[in-house]
Amino acid sequence: MEHLWCWRCKMEVPMLNEDEHKMASKLYRHGFETGKCNMTRQERFKDLLEYYKELTDYEETEPNAIMHHRIELYGPPCESCSKPYRTPKASFCAACGHKRLNFLNNTILQNTEQKWWHKILTAN
């Protein structure tokens, strides 16, 4: 578990690592499989909400929010403002507009490599 900025919630929240998220996913699925139509979301996903509260000491009321509080969904911290990029492949920071230098350099290098079909065309 790690505290990171969440773009949807507009605040810093506890984010789950992969092992924690795997357990949360099972509890989320369990809520769908065993829940009844007349149940509230808090009743249906009670086990998930309790798991998240026990793990993070943060009382979340929205089960869907827990599912997007996953570290792997976000990119590394911005070099300028330290908020995480919205995705691992983001080319700029949505918070401050900083262009991601490592991403640009890697993209340029990948684009300059010759494709396999270029080799066939130039050989003929």
Residue 103 or 109, more confident: 103
Task: Write down the pLDDT at residue 100.
Answer: 84
Structure tokens at 67: 């599912």
pLDDT band at 21 (very low <50, low <70, confident <90, very high): very high
Average pLDDT over residues 5-13: 91
**Residue 103: what pLDDT?**
59
Query: Given this model, what pLDDT does residue 113 score?
Result: 61
The reported pLDDT for the residue numbered 123 is 60
Percent pLDDT > 70 in the chain is 81
Q: What is the mean pLDDT of residues 83-103?
A: 87
Query: Which tokens is 89 given?
Result: 């492949």
Per-residue pLDDT of 51-71, as tens digits, reads 999 999 999 999 999 999 999
pLDDT(41) > 80 = yes
Q: How far is CA 109 from CA 53, 64, 101, 102, 115, in A?
A: 44, 38, 12, 11, 12
- HEC secondary structure over the chain: CEEEEECCCCEEEEEECHHHHHHHHHHHHHHHHHCCCCCCHHHHCHHHHHHHHHHHCCCCCCHHHHHHCEHHHCCCECCCCCCECCCCCCCECCCCCCECHHHHHHHHHHHHCCCHHHHHHHHC
